[in-house]
Amino acid sequence: MSDLRPISFARGAPSLDIVDVEGLKEAAHAAFTNDPAGLTGYGTAIGYPPLRAWIAERHGVAPENVIVTNGSMQADAFLFDVLVSEGDTVIVELPTYDRTLLSLRGRGAQVRMVELEPDGIDVEALARLLDAGVRPTLAHIIPNFQNPAGYTLSQPKRERLLELARSHGFVVFEDDPYVELRFSGERLPTMLSLDPENVVYASSFSKTVAPGIRVGYLVGPRPIIAQIEKLATGTYISPNMVAQGIVNQFARSGAIERSVQTVKTALAQRATALAAALERELPDARFVKPQGGYFMWVKLPEGTDVAALFTAAAARNVQFVKGTDFVLEGHESTLRLAYAGVTVAEIEEGIARLADAYREVTASRG
Ligand SMILES: Cc1ncc(COP(=O)(O)O)c(C=O)c1O
């Protein structure tokens, strides 16, 4: 086993230096002082009402269109429970977030993956599937700085996707935890704002505040939110009021804007450092430099055994996630590098070690 310091490009989580721990302590103190009953009581299944109101205002919807949950994973699970039955067809991006894939497959959904391009899902390939008679109930889309690819869905594709959803009667599930983390280029409108009738939107405070706070939410049509509220009551009576009270205070005091700025500044530096290190150390790597978010998708030459690279990297105490985790089949020569949890110095050191592992793997292949 290597005694080198571990460097992980595996986790989609921020490093501690970009979490505003002091700000969260202050928010906790203020939240308990301002509303002791609201924080310590059971609360309501729809979430802490002042936070729900803040989120509704940010999205220009009524509070009745919002439910606040324990992380957006819980929101996803509730939505799938309501909208996806065994045997239903669900469209996802190829590649997509591994936990979504597992969750849908665990529910017995027929998952149809549609190629993800650097400007988002191939909407014309989706249109061809629909023309061929595929009838999805839902399309799961990560529009900004996609997990795992880091790609962003262009505005024309957002509009085309909504057109397809309307004409073929499926719901677009816009899973958007990275939206606030754009560090270059222009912000695009959410699909929720373009077509609130056909979109259910999810986001989270995990990537902008801290994942341990476990606060996420859904915005959607009232009948769907009302159904999920019933499900939430039966599941946990109410989500964590203490965490939501702290997030509410953190958001309303303006601390969240500073936190987002801190995270974005670090991400921009880290993405630049990662791209430069790959170009320098691993010139065989192909990637699109993201305009925000946590992830970069790396393609190595066809035939490269990324499973062997994973083992060789682990022997050098470097972790990443294999591309095969984000697909149903294939993609054996791809990998995801998360740069949110590593400093610039760690990126440089980690990519040098990864390149060394790559040389070993390609040399043994001959
Ligand atoms: C696309 C996507 N959706 C949902 C989640 C889950 O987020 P949360 O921490 O809010 O449960 C993640 C986390 O990595 C994600 O990348």
The enclosing H or E element of 314 equals helix 306-314
The CA distance from 10 to 8, in Å, is 5
Share of the chain above pLDDT 70, in %: 99
pLDDT greater than 80 at residue 2: no
The pLDDT of residue 366 is 60
Compute the average pLDDT of residues 156-180: 98
For the chain, the C-alpha Rg in angstroms (whole number) is: 21
Reading the block at residue 257, the tokens are 């804007």
The finding on whether 97 has its CB within 6 A of some atom of ligand 1 is yes
The finding on whether 204 has its CB within 6 A of some atom of ligand 1 is yes
Q: 177 C-alpha vs ligand 1 centroid, how far in Å?
A: 6
**pTM exceeds cut of 0.95:** yes
Compute the average pLDDT of residues 109-117: 98
Q: 12 C-alpha vs ligand 1 centroid, how far in Å?
A: 8
The finding on whether 211 has its CB within 6 A of some atom of ligand 1 is yes
What number does CATH give the domain 7-19+257-365? 3.90.1150.10
Listed by start position, the domains of the chain span 7-19+257-365, 21-254
pLDDT tens digit sequence for 244-268: 999 999 999 999 999 999 999 999 9
pLDDT greater than 60 at residue 353: yes
Reading the block at residue 20, the tokens are 């505003």
**Strand 321-322 and strand 66-69: pairing?**
unpaired
What number does CATH give the domain 21-254? 3.40.640.10
pLDDT tens digit sequence for 40-78: 999 999 999 999 999 999 999 999 999 999 999 999 999
The finding on whether 148 has its CB within 6 A of some atom of ligand 1 is no
**Strand 216-219 and strand 66-69: pairing?**
antiparallel
Dihedral sign computed on CA atoms, order 94, 95, 98, 99: negative
The pLDDT of residue 364 is 81
Q: 142 C-alpha vs ligand 1 centroid, how far in Å?
A: 10
Which atom of ligand 1 is the closest one to the Cα of 76?
A: 4
Q: 73 C-alpha vs ligand 1 centroid, how far in Å?
A: 6
Bigger pLDDT: 55 vs 364? 55
Share of the chain above pLDDT 90, in %: 98
